Amino acid sequence: MNNHSNIKRGNTKKSANLNTLLRTMRLPFLTLTVFCVLVGLATAIHSGAVINWLHFSLCLLGALTAHIAVNTLNEYQDFQSGLDFKTEKTPFSGGSGGLVENPSAAPLVLKFTYCCIGLVILIGLYFIYQTGVAILPFGLIGVAIIITYTRYINTQPWLCLLAPGIAFGLLMVVATDYILTSHYSLSAMAGAVICLFLVSNVLLLSQFPDAQADKTVGRNHIVIVYGKSFSLTVYLIFLLLAAATLILSCVFDVLPNLAYFALLPMLAGIAAWHILVKALGQSLINEQIEKEPMTKALGLNVVAANVTPLLLSICILMGY
């Protein structure tokens, strides 16, 4: 009887740990990775390349694994620092809270992170073997961002702002296009720059609710250093730069004219900015923003960052 109870408790613990691991992977947020990789695929097809679907599958797997590794390592380190006990959770910020509820899963999360980093490196080595060392800088920068993001990059305001955009834009989009075509293209670079600004904006707004808690564990990002009003100005500039890059790319035939339609989802970003400017204007103490407008703005921002690259990739393919 006792043996049966021990087995049952063991299975329950394993199930709980697996559930926690899945939560720390932040699976709903992986759509952004898929859509950025699709932009690289679309620009490669647009250039007339014959697609090696095995290589594309490995690009997608590597990008997803890298994103998961960042998420799980960030969750583990935020749990270790105590930050996860201080943040006010929203659907789009503050961490999953999985390790706070089940601390016993922490070793599993860390081991899984190491496995993900190992898989990313193996995929990178395969592509170096297949395409040459020109792809090596993408891998080195990507792994460096994964490992240093939480404990180092988050202490450097401007690097922290740009790192996500570099990872999702310049690395994922351009690397996917290069692996599939064996050359660099202006269309891939244009798509990458658009993604860079939009993805960096996702991080920027997600730091608004966590700024006070982040400060207590040594983080030093834009919102902490310069405040929310300045950060909203940066957010708007990035949004306008993304739109300007898309427009100029269409004007100079770097991207097909159908790509103009990808401007439409960016309006969600404008709406998010307007909501937060209005909420900030009504703030009476220390630029505090109420949870409801903050959550609404974060949701609109996620829509802009996800739907824009998805629609952009579709428009590029239709304009082929």
Confidence at residue 294, expressed as pLDDT on a 0 to 100 scale:
92
Task: Categorize the per-residue pLDDT at 214 as very low, low, confident or very high, splitting at 50, 70 and 90.
Answer: confident
Identify whether the C-beta of residue 139 lies closer than 8 Å to the C-beta of residue 121: yes
Query: What integer pLDDT is reported at residue 260 of this predicted model?
Result: 97
Q: What is the dihedral of CA 83, 89, 90, 92, to 10 degrees?
A: 30
pLDDT at 211: 86
Instruction: Give how far Cα 94 sits from Cα of 1, 91, 212, 228, Å.
Output: 43, 8, 12, 17
For range 108-137, the mean pLDDT: 95
The per-residue pLDDT for 258 is: 96
Band (pLDDT 50/70/90 cuts) for residue 285 is: low
- Contact (CB, 8 A) for 62 and 123: yes
Task: Please give the CATH number for the structural domain made up of 2-318.
Answer: 1.10.600
Residue 233: alpha-carbon gap to chain centroid: 21
Cα distances from 56 to residues 10, 116, 196, 212, in angstroms, run: 40, 18, 21, 41
Distance of alpha carbon 17 from alpha carbon 12, whole angstroms:
9
Chain mean pLDDT for the chain = 91
**pLDDT tens string 149-201:** 988 999 999 999 999 999 999 899 999 999 999 999 999 999 999 999 999 99
- 8 Å CB contact between 175 and 59: yes
Higher-pLDDT residue of 2 and 290 is 290
Domain limits of the chain?
A: 2-318
- How far does Cα 219 stand from its chain's mean position? 18
Tokens 């860390």 correspond to: 110
